[in-house]
Structure 1
Amino acid sequence: MNTITLNDKNIIPILGFGTYKATETEGVKSVKTAIASGYRLIDTAAKYENEEAVGKGIKASGIDRAELFVTTKVWREDMGYEQTIRALNESLKKLQLDYIDLYLIHWPANELNYSNWQKTNAEVWRAMEDLQAEGKIKSIGVSNFWTEHLDALLQTAKVVPAVNQIEFHPGYWQPELTQYCKDHGIVIEAWSPLARGKIFGSDVLNNIAQKHNKSISQVAIRWIIQHGAVVIPKSTTVARIQENMDVFGFELSEDEMKTIDDLPEMGFSGELPNIWPDRVKVD
């Protein structure tokens, strides 16, 4: 199965294209190439400063808008009800789109940045619920939310998040948070699936890859998919973009899955929701 049905009944491709750091001409070209290669999920964010490039790439692809699943995110500097609405409208303008398929809170407000982080997250979420009701967003979700942030949000939310996009890769996959989300019907989406390149130095992954006659990156992506998570690898080279799509013709065994599950920490970004991205009070 190459798609997942979200808790709001919308359907998301299980494999998408990440665009972090893909800006300007490179961003336009890579998005166009990804769509031509078969990707239908395109992930961006206001913070990436490439929504205009992504929008141009989508337009240049010539693909019907209805066939695409476009994700973007509201940044920490736009936390609040009115700010979120303005941010979404700005993203729509830059992307040249009438609606967003999935809109995420990029990082939760935390106690180092907000005197009442629970209320701040709740206000952003209320705006997103209203935008969803208006039809400007199909699905709403979060990113980098730990269980404590989700617990607080669910106290006031009318809509359960459809997705939680988190750092998830061999060597750092947050199993307790993953299980929490599964128990609450929230789909995990994996960012940094290739562990910032650290997976390529793993003998364990290399041995598994050789057994299947696949690349290490294909094994990592396949491992994520078999965990039932959406994965969004990024690349700007045609060969890698196409290689990352070729992960549906093989399957990892239970033993191989567990072996990868148990790999020691590697490639962790160090970015934690309670202390990142800064320690400056916003309010």
Structure 2
Amino acid sequence: MQFLALSNGIKMPILGLGTYCLVGKNGQEAMDKAIQIGYRLFDTAQMYNNEDRLGNAIQSAIKGGIPRKDFFIQTKLLEANNEDSTKKSIEKSLKALKLDYIDSLLIHEPYASSKEMYKAMESFYQQGILKSIGISNFGAKAYEKFIQNCKITPMINQCETHLLLQQKPLREVMADKGTLLQSFSPFIAGKGLILENQSLRNIALKYSKTPAQVILRFLIQHGISTIPKSSKEQRMKENLNIFDFTLNAQDIQFLNSLDTNQSSFAWTNY
């Protein structure tokens, strides 16, 4: 596994497991399996209604001998009315996750109350209860406006990022601010049939990899953390098996050219 250093020096695995839709008993079994396979970065959210299941999986792993410090647990806050209600919301996530600290906490999207929410997050960060703090779904304009009011610059910005939306303008804005980009939906949730692209398939064949592995490798070679979601053991293993090859400059150039700078989801506002 490769790691990225956040602006405060904390190290985060560059690849982890997204847990959207991993709910109930089956969801927890998938998380347990992911831990056995070797995943240590897990991304959840209050909106996913599975923080408790992830908490169970982590506690089981700790009892099994894996140190808590080996895990990087990230969750995302739903909108809160003010700073005080945000503090209560953070405490709710800590309880659900069964943790005394969270490795990364993000605001799920640019809410009207994001500034007040972030003040509470800064307070918990200064107490050491949050090891890193950040945002999610903040495009370049929203990001630039938001950081003007931050005492602590967000360390992570999790956004839709894939071959057709490579977030180049956002990456340029964040480059000298110390905020790392994290990709969700690297395979566009099955939209657009990107995995069927013949040129991508040809590249994958050259490296004896799958199109999905080429996409993940492309992202991490750009220094972008990624959290592909899967409940299938074989797919989880494939997604982790991307550290034994490197895309050459010609292939990187071609994959760069696929960028349309357009979101594939109606609810985004980048």
Residues of 2 paired with 1:97 and 1:261: CA distance? 40
Task: Say whether the 8 Å CA contact 2:144–2:173 is kept in structure 1.
Answer: no
Are 1:240 and 2:235 counterparts? yes
Are 1:254 and 2:257 counterparts? no
**What is the identity, as a one-letter code, of the residue corresponding to 1:91?**
S
**What is the identity, as a one-letter code, of the residue corresponding to 2:38?**
G
Per-residue deviation, 1:149: 2.0
Residues of 2 paired with 1:59 and 1:245: CA distance? 22
Give the SS at the match of 2:131: strand
Are 1:167 and 2:169 counterparts? no
* Matching of residues 65-80 of structure 1 within 5 Å: 65-76=68-79, 78-80=80-82
Residues 82-128 of structure 1: per-residue CA shift (max 9 Å, x gap): 1211111111111111110000000012xxxxxxx4xx222111110
Per-residue deviation, 1:168: 0.4
Residues of 1 paired with 2:259 and 2:175: CA distance? 23
Residues of 2 paired with 1:52 and 1:87: CA distance? 14
Per-residue deviation, 1:271: 2.7
Give the SS at the match of 1:244: helix
Are 1:149 and 2:142 counterparts? yes
**What is the identity, as a one-letter code, of the residue corresponding to 1:271?**
W
Q: 1:79 to 1:172 in 2, by over 3 A?
A: farther
Residues 126-154 of structure 1: per-residue CA shift (max 9 Å, x gap): 11000111121000000011222222222
Size of the aligned set, in residue pairs, is 264
Which residue of structure 1 lines up, in the alignment, with residue 95 of structure 2? Answer: 93
Flag as ranges the 4+ runs of structure 1 deviating above 6 A.
none
Q: Let me know the Cα RMSD of the aligned residues.
A: 1.6
Residues of 2 paired with 1:129 and 1:159: CA distance? 7
Unmatched tracts of structure 1, length 5 or more = 110-116, 275-283
Which residue of structure 2 lines up, in the alignment, with residue 278 of structure 1? Answer: none
Task: Say whether the 8 Å CA contact 1:44–1:71 is kept in structure 2.
Answer: yes
Pick aligned residue for 1:192 from 185, 194, 209: 185
Residues of 2 paired with 1:10 and 1:173: CA distance? 25
Which residue of structure 1 lines up, in the alignment, with residue 267 of structure 2? Answer: 271
**% identical equivalent positions:** 36
Unmatched tracts of structure 2, length 5 or more = none
Per-residue deviation, 1:79: 4.6
Most deviating of 181-190 and 147-156? 147-156
Residues of 2 paired with 1:102 and 1:213: CA distance? 35
**What is the identity, as a one-letter code, of the residue corresponding to 2:169?**
E
Per-residue deviation, 1:267: 7.7
**What is the identity, as a one-letter code, of the residue corresponding to 1:54?**
L
Per-residue deviation, 1:190: 0.3
* Matching of residues 92-111 of structure 1 within 5 Å: 92-109=94-111
Per-residue deviation, 1:183: 2.5
Task: Say whether the 8 Å CA contact 1:132–1:138 is kept in structure 2.
Answer: yes
Which residue of structure 1 lines up, in the alignment, with residue 17 of structure 2? Answer: 17
